[in-house]
Structure 1
C-alpha cells in the first residue's frame, strides 16, 4: 500500500537531512530541491535507501526559468528536473536542482544511477544547453551536429538562426540565413458577450 505524500516527505527529510534544500507537497505530489553539488549523491540515496527505493527514472529535463525573474526568485536561470517512481514502494517524486552558473550550466550525470538517463541528459544538453559532467557520450540527439544554439532556451529566436536546404547544383545540403520575415501573430479572441453577433466581427 502506498504511503501518503506527507509520510513520503518525512522519510525524505530523515534520509537526506541537510542535503534537502526544500520539500513540499502540492496537488498530492512531493517535490524536493537539492543543491547541484549533492545531485549525484542524492540520486544514489533515493535509489538505494530501503524506505525510498526509487528504482525507475521516468523523466529528466532541463528548464530555462529566465522569464520567472519577475516572481522574485533568487535561484539561477537553469534547472534540471527529474521524475522518479518506486515500483517496489508505489510512490512518485519530483526532484529539482538549480545549475550554479548561468554561463555554463552544469550538473553531474546520473547515467550510472539510472541507465535510461542517457538520452534524457543528451536531450537536455541539446535543447537547453545543460552540461552533464561524467556523461559517457554527451552530444546532440535531436538537432544536427552543425546546429548553433539551444532551441528550448527562452532567448532563442522563434524562427531559428539558419535554415537548410538541398542545393541541386552543389549536390549537397547547405545552410543559409533564415528567409522568413519575422512577424507577430495575434489570435482572434471571441468574447462570450459578442459571440455570434455579426456586427462585432
Structure 2
C-alpha cells in the first residue's frame, strides 16, 4: 500500500541561492552558503523591498518570519571588523517550498541605528523588533509600538551592546519610607575574581 500524499522535500541551499540571486539581482549585496545554511545580505535602503519580494514572489514564498534579532559587531573578529556596527538578522521560512533563508541588514549609522520595520509584512516581527530595540537600541521606523519589552521602562542604555558595563548604570529597589520603587546609581564595587587552583599530589587518584 502506497501513500498518495505528496511530500515536500527541502530545497538544496545552492539551488535556492541561484533562485534568489536571479530574483533579487543587484538588490542582493551578498548571498553565501556556509555549513549548509543560506545567508542573504541586503542594504538598508533595499531591505523593505527585498523582504516584500521574498514574501510574495512565487519562487520564494517565505510566508513566515520565525526570528529576528539585533547584532553588535563592535568587537567582531577581535577588532578586525571594518563594517557597520549594528545589524538585524532575520530568519524566514517557506512552508510552501520547505526552504529557509537568513537575511542580514546593517544599519547605515552607528550613532543612531535605524532600519525599516517589517511588521507590515509579518506580524510576528512585532515583539522581535521591540527586543532588538530594547537590547541594542536599533530603531525600526514604521513600528506602531516600539517600546522596551524585556527591561524596565526606566532602564538606561541597551544591555546587549558590547560597550555596556557589566554592572549596569543604575539599580532599582523598593524604598519602604517612600513606598515606591526608586532608581539609584550602581553601588557595586568592581572586583576581580581569581579562580582557586588546587594542586595536590595524586589528586583524583592519578599517579
Structures share fold, TM-score greater than 0.5: yes
* CA–CA distance in structure 2, aligned partners of residues 174 and 79 of structure 1: 34
* CA–CA distance in structure 1, aligned partners of residues 203 and 122 of structure 2: 53
* CA–CA distance in structure 2, aligned partners of residues 181 and 60 of structure 1: 36
Q: Please identify the structure whose Cα radius of gyration is greater.
A: 2
1:29 to 29, 33, 37: 37
Cα distance per residue 1:37-91 (max 9 Å; x no partner) = 1111111000011111111001001100100264633311001100111111101
Q: Which has the higher helix share?
A: 1
Specify the alignment match of 1:85 in structure 2. 93
1:134 to 2:142 alignment: yes
2:169 to 161, 170, 191: 161
* CA–CA distance in structure 1, aligned partners of residues 85 and 49 of structure 2: 23
Q: Which runs of 5+ in 1 are unaligned?
A: none
Specify the alignment match of 1:124 in structure 2. 132
* CA–CA distance in structure 2, aligned partners of residues 23 and 117 of structure 1: 23
Secondary structure (helix, strand or coil) at the match of 2:75 reads: helix
* CA–CA distance in structure 2, aligned partners of residues 106 and 196 of structure 1: 56
1:196 to 195, 200, 204: 204
Aligned CA RMSD, in angstroms, stands at: 2.0
TM-score by length of 2: 0.89
Specify the alignment match of 1:63 in structure 2. 71
Q: Which runs of 5+ in 2 are unaligned?
A: 1-8
Specify the alignment match of 1:180 in structure 2. 188
1:144 to 2:155 alignment: no
